[in-house]
Amino acid sequence: MSRMFPIPFNRPCFIGNEQAYIVQSIANGHISGDGPFTRKCEAFLAEALRAKKVLLTTSCTHALEIAAILLQLKPGDEVVVPSFTFVSTANAFALQGARPVFADIRPDTLNIDERAIESLISPRTRAIVPVHYAGVGCEMDTILEIARRNGLVVIEDNAHGLFGRYKERFLGTFGNLATQSFHETKNFSCGEGGALIINDLEFLERAEIIREKGTDRSRFFRGQVDKYTWVDFGSSYVISDILAAYLFAQLEAYQLIQARRQRIWNYYYEGLREWAQNQGVRLPFVPPSCDQSYHMFYLIFPSEIDREHMIDHLKSHGILSVFHYQPLHLSPMGSRFGGRSGDCPVTEQVSRTLLRLPFYNDLSETVQEYVVEIVRQFNTRS
């Protein structure tokens, strides 16, 4: 038993062909970007999601940056984002001179509260960036309708939600653009990586240019121009084919990975449901309109003190748990953009009381049984 401690919150997992494909990418003699494995990943994702076009990038943050450059933002332009999200959802747009306007989240799914969006829209608003928290879809019908009525671009931050669905359609295929993350902590990983999904093909040509340092290199490779040159803004957003090789091994095994994660999620849910009910602890909620991506399992405690005690309780039994996100509207950077944002009481409450349990692809049933047993020993006080 002692070899299993400490039980980490996350662990990078190998599914099978990662090493073989890396060796193959080296043998291919093409380890820079846009080699055979990058193409395989892009084609695989486009087909699996039924998306029009997928471009692999160095990270989800960088895919969001490409999206922000595509918007041709002017100083004072605004982008509506949830306050309860990772920094990059807002920072990518702030970097282009826009002001992030923070919306609160729904208490049930912890997704951007679509009812809060409209009151945050001004003549300067350019885009809405819904984040599918924990891979459970936002209310996309309403969000797309608000965007249509106000002439806004929708960019889905789908870092958590690859292969999740809303009303049968894959997350990442609703917005004009969407972004994916292949960071070590996500369902599918190559250490650091990401993708930009382009559903509105009007953005495709410039997206390729921005991703290639502002040059028309992609057109050159397709033989559409006879030399390539600097034509627009851009940066270095192309991922090494070695990383794409690693990623392709994981994508190829996506059904196996998702089946494992589903088992882990269901085991937590079944094992903790009764305890949670008795203790006033909330478990994740998945509306009937959504098929989730099984990205994480969280608990929401009645108070911050209960959460702190649970973290200590788990730690004293060798189990590492984590919480997130610090509300962006209260962060030092986020508060610089204050004024236009709404109140975000749900974000503030959830940020104080949410805890994530260990969750990774090869979390064994033995270890999970132990985690569930230790969680169930805990009594909330408030």
> Closer to ligand PLP at the Cβ: 89 or 187?
89
> Closer to ligand PLP at the Cβ: 110 or 276?
110
**Shortest separation between residue 149's beta carbon and ligand PLP, angstroms:** 26
Residues 86-105 that bind ligand PLP (CB under 6 A): 86, 88-89
Q: Are the C-beta atoms of residues 187 and 257 closer than 8 Å to each other?
A: yes
Binding residue for ligand PLP (CB under 6 A) from 104, 114, 157, 208? Answer: 157
Cα–Cα distance measured from residue 113 to residue 288, given in angstroms and rounded to the nearest whole number: 17
Binding residue for ligand PLP (CB under 6 A) from 38, 59, 111, 125? Answer: 59
Cα–Cα distance measured from residue 99 to residue 115, given in angstroms and rounded to the nearest whole number: 21
DSSP 233: -
Q: In terms of DSSP H, where are the helices of 162-235?
A: 204-211, 217-221
Q: Is omega for the bond preceding 130 within 30 degrees of 0, making it cis?
A: no
- DSSP string for residues in 346-374: HHHHHHHHEEE----TT--HHHHHHHHHH
Binding residue for ligand PLP (CB under 6 A) from 160, 165, 260, 329? Answer: 160
Binding residue for ligand PLP (CB under 6 A) from 7, 54, 60, 146? Answer: 60
Residue 159 contacts ligand PLP per CB under 6 A:
yes
Residues 269-328 that bind ligand PLP (CB under 6 A): none
78: left (phi over 0), alpha (psi -120 to 50) or beta: beta
**Shortest separation between residue 146's beta carbon and ligand PLP, angstroms:** 21
- Mask of contacts with ligand PLP, 171-190, x by CB under 6 A? ----------x-x-------
Binding residue for ligand PLP (CB under 6 A) from 73, 79, 117, 131? Answer: 131
Cα–Cα distance measured from residue 254 to residue 163, given in angstroms and rounded to the nearest whole number: 9
Cα–Cα distance measured from residue 251 to residue 270, given in angstroms and rounded to the nearest whole number: 28
Q: Which stretch binds ligand PLP (CB under 6 A): 83-91, 223-231, 331-339, 341-349?
A: 83-91
Cα–Cα distance measured from residue 88 to residue 155, given in angstroms and rounded to the nearest whole number: 13
Residue 206 contacts ligand PLP per CB under 6 A:
no
Cα–Cα distance measured from residue 136 to residue 159, given in angstroms and rounded to the nearest whole number: 11
Residues near ligand PLP (CB under 6 A) are 59-61, 85-86, 88-89, 131, 157, 159-160, 181, 183, 194
